[in-house]
């Protein structure tokens, strides 16, 4: 095939693709907040959620973040948000997880107290984005009532977006979410003996 025929073919294919994309963009004309679930066993769930936090902050949107585990391990996102983003409402469960604390009823109390920080955010239209990091585990361990969480997500203000991260979460949670992405592990450095790294893993 001559170069000019290749060019013409390419141009036609691109025009077709553009028409398809334009039609899809035109069809997606509903303006409302979205509920996003980032799940699966691979790395990238929380980091994706914090990517959305950065996007929202770029537009001076109001952001709330509630983290449901890892209260004792400091993370780069926590340090950054606390030091540089006082406008972000940040809460953390503040205890370790069961294998650290060995205290199931204490963990349940902590989970419920933390949920009571998240709930008002989900009722407040001032928040553009609410991140509920590692929330799924609270449902999986029955520390929090899935129906209560689902009702709160469902009845949040129309323009508010919410991001939930964590493995699992159950079919009912998936049902209420608009976007569900599963991060699948193909490889993870940890399994090759590489230690979790500052700025990459925490
Ligand atoms: P990240 O915060 O890096 O986006 P994540 O939110 O997808 O990870 P979590 O299970 O919440 O996944 O991760 C907690 C920690 O475990 C992070 O330091 C992460 O890098 C690491 N991690 C995530 N997935 C795996 C995996 N498949 N094997 C080993 N470690 C993992
Ligand atoms: Mg995570």
Structure confidence at residue 73 (pLDDT):
76
Beta-carbon contacts of 132 under 8 Å, excluding residues fewer than 6 positions away, are 66, 68, 118, 162, 163, 164, 165
Beta-carbon contacts of 103 under 8 Å, excluding residues fewer than 6 positions away, are 95
Structure confidence at residue 95 (pLDDT):
66
- Summarize pLDDT for 31-62 with one digit per residue, the tens: 999 999 999 999 999 999 999 999 999 999 99
Beta-carbon contacts of 181 under 8 Å, excluding residues fewer than 6 positions away, are 36, 37, 38, 39, 40, 48
| The pLDDT of residue 99 is above 70 | no
For residue 145, how far is its CA from the centre of ligand 2 (angstroms)?
20
- Spatial CA neighbour of 91 closest among 61, 109, 62, 111: 111
Return the ligand 1 atom nearest residue 46 CA: 6
Percentage helix, strand, coil for the chain under 3-state DSSP, each rounded to 5? 45, 15, 40
Mean pLDDT calculated for residue range 107-136 = 96
Return the ligand 1 atom nearest residue 196 CA: 18
Residue with tokens 């955010």: 121
Q: Does the C-beta of 181 come closer than 6 Å to ligand 1?
A: no
Residue whose CA is at the smallest distance from ligand 1 atom 12: 43
- Summarize pLDDT for 144-189 with one digit per residue, the tens: 999 999 999 999 999 999 999 999 989 999 999 999 999 999 999 9
**Contact by Cβ (8 Å): 90, 102:** no
Structure confidence at residue 96 (pLDDT):
53
Structure confidence at residue 71 (pLDDT):
60
| The pLDDT of residue 140 is above 70 | yes
**Which residue stretches of 85-145 are H helix?**
98-101, 104-121, 135-140
Structure confidence at residue 103 (pLDDT):
80
Q: How far is CA 154 from the centre of its chain?
A: 16
Q: Does the C-beta of 202 come closer than 6 Å to ligand 1?
A: yes
Q: Does the C-beta of 201 come closer than 6 Å to ligand 1?
A: yes
Q: Does the C-beta of 172 come closer than 6 Å to ligand 1?
A: no
Structure confidence at residue 1 (pLDDT):
80
- Summarize pLDDT for 58-87 with one digit per residue, the tens: 999 999 999 998 566 789 999 999 999 999
Q: How far apart are CA 86 and CA 80, in angstroms?
A: 10
Q: How far apart are CA 69 and CA 138, in angstroms?
A: 9
What sign for the dihedral angle of Cα 48, 50, 52, 54? negative
Residue whose CA is at the smallest distance from ligand 1 atom 22: 43
């Amino acid at each position: 095939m001559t170069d000019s025929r290749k060019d013409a073919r390419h141009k036609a294919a691109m025009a077709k693709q553009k028409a398809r994309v334009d039609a899809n963009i035109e069809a997606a004309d509903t303006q409302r907040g979205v509920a996003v679930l980032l799940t699966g066993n691979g790395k990238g769930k929380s980091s994706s959620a914090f990517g959305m936090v950065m996007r929202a902050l770029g537009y001076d949107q109001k952001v709330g973040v509630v983290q449901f585990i890892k209260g004792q391990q400091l993370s780069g996102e926590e340090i950054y948000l606390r030091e540089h983003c006082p406008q972000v409402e940040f809460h953390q469960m503040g205890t370790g997880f069961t294998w650290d604390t060995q205290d199931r009823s204490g963990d349940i109390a902590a989970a419920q107290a933390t949920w009571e920080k998240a709930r008002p955010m989900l009722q407040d239209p001032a928040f553009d984005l609410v991140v509920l990091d590692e929330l799924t585990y609270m449902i999986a361990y029955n520390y929090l009532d899935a129906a209560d969480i689902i009702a709160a997500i469902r009845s949040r203000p129309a323009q508010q977006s919410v991001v939930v991260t964590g493995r699992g979460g159950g079919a009912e949670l998936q049902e209420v979410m608009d976007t569900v992405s599963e991060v699948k592990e193909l490889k993870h450095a940890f399994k090759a003996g590489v230690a979790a790294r500052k700025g990459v893993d925490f």
